[in-house]
Amino acid sequence: MTSRTYLLCHAHPDDETLSTGAIALGLRARGDDVAVLTATRGEQGEVRPGRYAAVQGTPELAAIRDGELVAALDALGVTTHAYLGEGAARAAGLRPRRYTDSGMLWVTPTQAGPGDDAGPDSLTVADETEVAADLAAYAVAIGATDLVSYSDDGGYGHPDHIRMHHATRSAARALGLPFHVIVTDPDEGYDEWLDASGDREALERAYDAYATQFSRDGDDVTHVGGQSDRVVTAAGLRRA
């Protein structure tokens, strides 16, 4: 069997760890290649109180989150990465652009919805055809064989996640490649389940890279909004 190249398509730094850290490690452990494409730098994200409070809503936050992403990718062993709209992740003939975080509001303690601060350069304001074309350009550039992103509700309703689901699905269709959605609950059904419990140290280092976004105490994770979570050591993919 020959190895495949999975492109994990995400909206913000930390999504690659929270949603697909176990998937990335599981794919790599079986000999497949993994690349990550990040749409924005999470400019609108909240930060944990304390040392980072002063950078919320400032350009400095984007730089910090970029550094956190670099550290997390290193922990996961992912060496191929790009930001959407730049370099090889920009459709031919178009000038480079920087997609920005669209922001969100909490509709319930665990479900998000569109916010009021999406700027003119934000991911959800951009034409979805352009987003999909940039995504497809990068998939071709790295020789991706499979595209991966969130389910159609974005996992928890974030508008940027939902946009990436639709753009990734469109790019996969245009390229004739398989599109897989992320499954964290095995009861929802999956085609393959990837267990990274044997790579727990690497996964924890990826989680711990995101000091602005959450804290980890053993298996327990506390997000910036106070939501409780667990380290995801296993997750699945389902062909969509």
Q: Tell me the CATH number at 91.
A: 3.40.50.10320
The phi and psi torsions of 187 (rounded to 5 degrees) equal -70, -15
Q: How far apart are CA 178 and CA 124, in angstroms?
A: 24
The phi and psi torsions of 80 (rounded to 5 degrees) equal -110, 115
pLDDT tens string 147-176: 999 999 999 999 999 999 999 999 999 999
Q: How far apart are CA 9 and CA 217, in angstroms?
A: 28
Q: How far apart are CA 101 and CA 108, in angstroms?
A: 20
Interval 59-86 mean pLDDT: 97
**Would the pLDDT of 49 be above 90?**
no
- At residue 1 the predicted structure's pLDDT band, cuts being 50, 70 and 90, is low
What distance lies between CA 197 and its chain's CA centroid? Answer: 20
pLDDT tens string 76-95: 999 999 999 999 999 999 99
pTM above 0.95, yes or no: yes
If residue 68 lies in a helix (H) or strand (E), which one and from where to where? Answer: helix 59-76
Question: Do 203 and 196 touch, CB atoms closer than 8 A?
Answer: yes
Q: How far apart are CA 205 and CA 73, in angstroms?
A: 10
Q: How far apart are CA 191 and CA 203, in angstroms?
A: 23
Number of compact structural domains in the chain: 1
Range of the domain at 206: 5-239
Would you say how long the chain is, in residues?
Answer: 240
